[in-house]
Amino acid sequence: MSTRQEDDKKFQILKLVHDTHRKEIAFHREALDRVFQWTTSLLLAIGGGLIVIGPKISTSYGIGGPLLITVAVGVICFFAIKLTNGNAKDINTNAKIVVKTDRLLKLFEPNYFKNDEAIYPEDWMMWGKERDAAKYRSYNIRLIIVFMVSILILIWMDLIRALFQ
């Protein structure tokens, strides 16, 4: 095989790897969004139900009702945070591979494509580092925790208030 054919074959492999991992990143970003949407929808529904029921939950169901809802909220939030962290980790893993293929395709090299600048800015080479994982997941996790704490306050507010009266 000639050098030109080998180079073309390598280019095709790099392009395939690059495109595949870009699609994986898009998939995991969509998964992050879906997990957040489902979690917040469930927590909002639980919160809305608690607001409608009001203090009746602790008087009608005893301690079992609030405990059951607390466990349900905890399980929902635990798995949401676990899935969010997993998807963010997968995004970073794939991003590192994309950066490697971009380097091999010379997209970060100035003057390679007969212009003054590289196709990609140099700071894009940092994509996939651990700080990027925090960026993707931190807002979602913070909001999930805020929702969880708000619902826990709604659940236990009347019981705590009754203890201090």
pTM of the model: 0.80
Task: Give the Å distances, CA to CA, from 150 to 46, 91, 93, 99, 122.
Answer: 11, 30, 34, 40, 43
Give per-residue pLDDT as tens, 20-63.
Answer: 999 999 999 999 999 999 999 999 999 898 888 876 666 677 77
Q: How many CB atoms lie within 10 A of CB 118?
A: 18
Structure tokens given for 14: 């790099």
**Domain of 121?**
3-163
Give per-residue pLDDT as tens, 133-144.
Answer: 566 678 888 899
Q: Considering its fold, how many domains does the chain have in total?
A: 1
Give per-residue pLDDT as tens, 56-98.
Answer: 666 677 778 888 889 999 999 999 999 999 998 899 899 889 9
pLDDT recorded at residue 32: 92
